[in-house]
Structure 1
Amino acid sequence: MNVFWFIPSHGDGRYLGSAEGARTVDHDYIRQIAQAADRLGYHGVLVPTGKACEDAWIAAASLIPVTRRLKFLVAVRPGLMSPSAAARMAATFDRFSDGRLLVNVVTGGDPHELAGDGIFLSHEERYEQTDEFMTVWRRLMQGEQVTYNGKHVRTEDSQLLFPPLQKPYPPVYFGGSSPAAQSIAAEHVDFYLTWGEPIEDVANKIAEVRAQAEKKGRQVRFGIRLHVIVRETEQEAWAAANRLISRLDDDTIAEAQSILARYDSVGQRRMSELHKGDRSALVIAPNLWAGIGLARGGAGTALVGSAEAVAARMREYFELGIETFVLSGYPHLEEAYRAAELLFPLLPVKSHEPLAPHGSLEAVGELIAYNKPPRKVTGPQAGTGGTLHERAK
């Protein structure tokens, strides 16, 4: 498994739908989260995009010099930039970060937001544009000189003079639940991402994209975007989930669902249908909870439970073919530590060894009475206590 964390450049806090416990998300804060993810051994971080977020490319670029191994999954938005401009940005970032860029292609699903950015295409037309964009972008990144005359994209003798470090180009990620989106995935991308749905629904998506890719002579790998609320016991985890939405009132939920209903995104519709705005029907599968989708667009589900239960659910997705897990939790700084410490020892995580502080001794925890190291954790309790380093042994 490759496990990613999330940079909450649109806001963070302890409660959904409330300013109580909210945090100022400035550069100092996202740097803390990125450095925590780097130190803990996460494979990378997803940097979100959209009008509610800080610019993804500037935010990610600012984190290159303050991290050492972390990869950055950064959005390219067809329609907001030309393929050639996107290719130059990606190639520069990849070289300047020593090959730490991953590209997230986002077609967009909110017509109101898209109109504000000057995009007035229908759902199907946006995917036509994405297809043309990716055709040109991929050829440029591989060093071709491109002349292309499409319905939405036109270019003459376009060329990328400074190539990316990763060959043939940084890995491309993409999500979308519509037939048009799945066709794009089969044709152009390396990783197809789904939001967190029940296991049988995810299995169906994987089978469809895999079959389409095979017809084109390609292979696509798979990932999933989920929140996570993991604790040492089931009771603690579900209490934390309920606490997260405890400040949400019915009016706020109704307002959020009204805004999300205007989206023409099939994936967003599937997220909303999981709970239908009803806070009494949020457990939609074992340890899969749709409470976050009451107020949040996009990824609206969380794995909730003890470390053992959440790890078991992740292994079920893994057995389907999901190898990339993009996780998040509120607040994102603390939950980055909690998820890594509780889950990584229980999973086949492909991660770097946690970074040790320069010149430090082995991390052992606080000394008992200032004299004696705490005991090592072994046996059945190794996944639920102690430090990450101790339990990883």
Structure 2
Amino acid sequence: MKVFWFIPLHGDSRYLGTSEGARAATYDYFQQIAVAADTLGYEGVLLPTGRSCEDAWVVASSLIAATRRLKFLVAIRPGLSSPGLSARMAATFDRLSKGRLLINVVTGGSPVELEGDGFFADHDVRYEITDEFLSIWRDHFRTAHDGGSVDFEGRHLSSRGGKLLYPSFQRPHPPLWFGGSSEAAQAIVADHIDTYLTWGEPPDAVAKKIASVRAKAERKGRKVKFGIRLHVIVRESEDEAWAEADRLISRVDDETAAKAQADFAKMDSEGQRRMAALHGGKGRTRAELEIYPNLWAGIGLVRTGAGTALVGTPEQVVARMTEYAELGIDTFILSGYPHLEEAYRFAELVFPRLPQRVRENLGSALPGPFGEIVGVTHLPKAAHG
């Protein structure tokens, strides 16, 4: 089990859907979160992509020197850049960071946004382009190791004599991650991807996805790892956790929710459709939004992409994480509002309660003592894990 955190390149807030309690998306703030995640022991961070965000490659590159061991999950966008250019960017980042790059392949779910960036293709064509893109991209890394060149002639993309002269630190290339719920997306996973990501649906739905993807990959002679993207609201008591969930959406009015849902309706992403179906865009109460024990769909009222959160005590959150892990989930990519404070809260409340083998792999790491010295001599009592 590996635990990642999130850098909010689209901004951060204490209340969704309003500027009240909001924070600017600045380098200083991104760096604070990255350093916190690095020192607390998170495996890595996801940096989102899209026109609502600061550019993930620029931000992640700027954070290499500010961190020691943190990995960066950064998107490549088939159709928006060429495979050769993307390969060179990835190889450079991986070399400069000494192997701390992970690649998030994002095909894109909003035709409106993609057309604004100059990319005109329907859902299935985008996945055809992604397939060709990844074939060329992966071949570029092969050339860096064997001295060959990339010659590829596809329906949408071509390469003639492509070369990558500087190899990546990781072999054969930085690992490829990918999320998508459609049949076309799962076919991409079977052919190219190392880790398949799902958004936080109830366990039975996640189990079906895992089984489907695993079977497709096995038919191609490949094995795939699995990750899940969730928000988290953890507090010492269950009442506190659910009160915080209510507070987070307490400024979301019907007009704001309707605007968000109208944007979601324009998307052709199967994953986004499934997220929106969990809440219907109208509910506000716990009874309407708790779609599985401790799994809450309130964030999806206004936020695109991952729209569900684990809500509860540390013990309840660990129980749900364990339930997903037993299905085959290897990696949890988590976030919370505001992201700086919640990175600390999750690490302090949940890390000590994770299985010992997981705790041993966390990279937090200064030896004790932890906490304020009692008087001038006595160490604080050890916490019970």
> In which range does the TM-score fall when normalised by the shorter chain?
over 0.9
Residue type of the partner of 2:195?
F
Q: CA-atom RMSD, angstroms?
A: 1.2
Q: Which residue of the partner structure matches residue 185 of structure 2?
A: 181
In 2, Cα distance between equivalents of 1:153 and 1:105: 17
Deviation at 1:345, TM superposition (A): 1.7
Structure 1 stretches of 4+ with a deviation exceeding 6 A read none
Q: Secondary structure at the match of 1:3?
A: strand
In 2, Cα distance between equivalents of 1:313 and 1:178: 25
The answer as to 2:93 corresponding to 1:93 is yes
Q: Which residue of the partner structure matches residue 371 of structure 2?
A: 365
Deviation at 1:369, TM superposition (A): 4.6
Q: What do residues 269-303 of structure 1 show as CA deviations (whole Å, max 9, x unaligned)?
A: 00000000122411000100000000100000000
Correspondence 1:28-177 to 2 at 5 A: 28-143=28-143, 144-177=148-181
1:354 to 329, 353, 364: 364
Residue type of the partner of 1:157?
G
1:271 to 275, 300, 308: 275
Deviation at 1:371, TM superposition (A): 5.1
Q: Which residue of the partner structure matches residue 27 of structure 2?
A: 27
Identical positions, percent: 63
The answer as to 2:345 corresponding to 1:335 is no
The answer as to 2:244 corresponding to 1:234 is no
Residue type of the partner of 2:49?
T
In 2, Cα distance between equivalents of 1:134 and 1:363: 48
Q: Secondary structure at the match of 1:142?
A: helix
Q: Secondary structure at the match of 2:350?
A: helix
Residue type of the partner of 1:223?
G
Q: How many residues align?
A: 375
TM-score (norm 1): 0.93
Correspondence 1:271-350 to 2 at 5 A: 271-277=275-281, 278-280=283-285, 281-348=288-355, 349=358
Structure 1 gap segments, 5+ residues each: 384-393
In 2, Cα distance between equivalents of 1:353 and 1:11: 27
Deviation at 1:370, TM superposition (A): 5.0
Equivalent residues of 1:38, 1:355 under 8 A apart: no
Q: What do residues 320-358 of structure 1 show as CA deviations (whole Å, max 9, x unaligned)?
A: 0000100000000000011111111222326343133xx
In 2, Cα distance between equivalents of 1:279 and 1:255: 16
Equivalent residues of 2:6, 2:46 under 8 A apart: yes
Q: Secondary structure at the match of 1:197?
A: coil
Deviation at 1:375, TM superposition (A): 2.0
Structure 2 gap segments, 5+ residues each: none
Equivalent residues of 2:43, 2:363 under 8 A apart: no
In 2, Cα distance between equivalents of 1:159 and 1:376: 56
In 1, Cα distance between equivalents of 2:257 and 2:309: 17
Deviation at 1:97, TM superposition (A): 0.3
Equivalent residues of 1:222, 1:324 under 8 A apart: yes
Equivalent residues of 2:42, 2:363 under 8 A apart: no
Equivalent residues of 1:72, 1:101 under 8 A apart: yes
1:193 to 189, 193, 197: 197
